[in-house]
Chain A
Amino acid sequence: DTGVSQDPRHKITKRGQNVTFRCDPISEHNRLYWYRQTLGQGPEFLTYFQNEAQLEKSRLLSDRFSAERPKGSFSTLEIQRTEQGDSAMYLCASSLRGQMLNTEAFFGQGTRLTVV
């Protein structure tokens, strides 16, 4: 396993269209995170999963956003009716949650979304 993989790397879409991104975490990792990063800003937390359960969602995650992690493996992030403000880099990360604390998260290269 070479790390966290995200697909596609780049996506250009017209406003109003739906888009879906995929993230494949490191295979033994039970936690998976989604972040959004805009130019000059730090990554903003969107949501995370422990196995297949979505444990927390940020207020940033409007009704147009939905994330799933069926079977606790890969995850998808869907944005419906995209808006220009959705243009950003979408980052996925995974980590291993042990009994006590989290290990560090490993990040994918991200999916850059441009809404025109």
Chain B
Amino acid sequence: AQSVTQLDSHVSVSEGTPVLLRCNYSSSYSPSLFWYVQHPNKGLQLLLKYTSAATLVKGINGFEAEFKKSETSFHLTKPSAHMSDAAEYFCVVSDRGDMRFGAGTRLTVKP
């Protein structure tokens, strides 16, 4: 069965510093992996996706993620945090059909 673990429930960074949100997955197949963002009282929005093409994936708003099969990881990064990045971030794995979410990482950005 597929599953995903987000290693940090809460990450706090200062504006202008790098962001790292960690995600490890488990899948018996070649999975698709996604990162979604959820702002307060807003719907889920796709940041980026990996579907077996390039292992370094670029998304919206300057976010990137690298698929590392040997480490079963798909960590999300951004070189410089902005106040508007404060939100809940979800790592998602999908192999044959359903999509499984991690528990989420709350990103706080301090001025």
Q: Which residues of A contact B98 (CB under 8 A)?
A: 33, 45, 48, 56
> What 0/1 pattern do residues 71 to 111 of B give for CB contact below 8 A with A?
00000000000000000001000100111111110000000
Size class of the contact patch on chain B: 20 to 34
Q: Which residue of A lies closest to B100 (CB)?
A: A45
* Residue with the highest number of chain A CB atoms closer than 10 Å, among B34, B43, B90: B43
Q: How distant is A2 from chain B, measured CB to nearest CB, in Å? A: 12
B17 within 8 A of A: no
Q: Which of A77-116 contact B (CB under 8 A)?
A: 91, 93, 100-102, 104-110
User: How many Å lie between the Cα of A43 and that of B46 in the bound state?
Assistant: 14
Contacts A43-B44, A91-B44, A109-B43; A104 near B34 (Cβ below 8 A): yes
* Residue with the highest number of chain A CB atoms closer than 10 Å, among B32, B44, B51: B44
Q: Which residues of B contact A108 (CB under 8 A)?
A: 43
B28 within 8 A of A: no
With beta carbons under 8 angstroms apart, the residue of B52, B99, B104 that contacts A105 is B99
Q: Which of A24-75 contact B (CB under 8 A)?
A: 31, 33, 35, 40-45, 48, 50, 55-56
Interface of B is mostly: strand
Contact B43 A107, beta carbon cutoff 8 Å:
yes
* Residue with the highest number of chain B CB atoms closer than 10 Å, among A33, A35, A42, A48: A42
With beta carbons under 8 angstroms apart, the residue of A41, A56, A101, A110 that contacts B104 is A41
Q: Which residues of B contact A42 (CB under 8 A)?
A: 90, 101-104
Q: Which residues of A contact B36 (CB under 8 A)?
A: 107
Contact A44 B46, beta carbon cutoff 8 Å:
no
Contacts A42-B90, A43-B90, A110-B43; A102 near B32 (Cβ below 8 A): yes
Question: Hey, which bits of chain A sit against chain B, CB under 8 A?
Answer: 31, 33, 35, 40-45, 48, 50, 55-56, 91, 93, 100-102, 104-110
